[in-house]
Amino acid sequence: MILNGNAHKYGDDINTDEIIPAKFLNTIDPVVLGQNCMTGLDEEFPKNVKAGDILVAGRNFGCGSSREHAPISILGAKVGAVIAKSFARIFFRNCVNIGLPILECPEGADKIKTGDKLGLDVEAGIIKDVSAGESYNTTPLPAFMQNIIASGGLLNYVAKSA
């Protein structure tokens, strides 16, 4: 899976309430959640993000509650992928389960800047910062997780496998 988009960079310990504030949890509609994605931290994010753009963050991205609304809001905002130094464990698995590509890359998360043009080869674990002329390697997700993401999430994967 090859993805291209502009970076939107945030810091460490971004919690699920910052990704999607609790006042928007009365729906699971990805479009509505996407219109409010990241507003607990950045009110302008929904206006600035374009389809395929990439969230970049520090360590422990997605900490806090285990609600699936957070990764669903990121998909609803049409974000192509998330790169972080590290992810909260349940958030990581929720992303895979709904088909949101994620890459753990401490070096890239440190060096990438907001607005940088990025190219990702999710299967190979390669992140290219076209703007900076840099490339970063990360350990690709295991094949079964890549298959879940490529299927559009766990439910689609199971349906295709049955």
pLDDT at 162: 74
| % of the chain beyond a pLDDT of 90 | 96
Helix segments in the chain, DSSP class H = 16-19, 30-34, 45-48, 69-76, 89-98, 106-111, 143-150, 154-161
Is pLDDT above 90 for 132?
yes
- Residues 51-82: pLDDT tens digits? 999 999 999 999 998 889 999 999 999 999 99
Overall average pLDDT of the 101-109 stretch:
97
pTM over 0.85: yes
Name the strands in the sheet holding 126-129, side by side, starting at the edge strand that comes first in the sequence: 102-104, 81-84, 54-57, 2-9, 117-121, 126-129, 134-137
Q: In whole angstroms, give the CA distance from residue 21 to residue 32.
A: 12
What structural domains does the chain harbor? 2-161 (3.20.19.10)
- Residues 10-25: pLDDT tens digits? 999 999 999 999 999 9
Is pLDDT above 90 for 161?
no
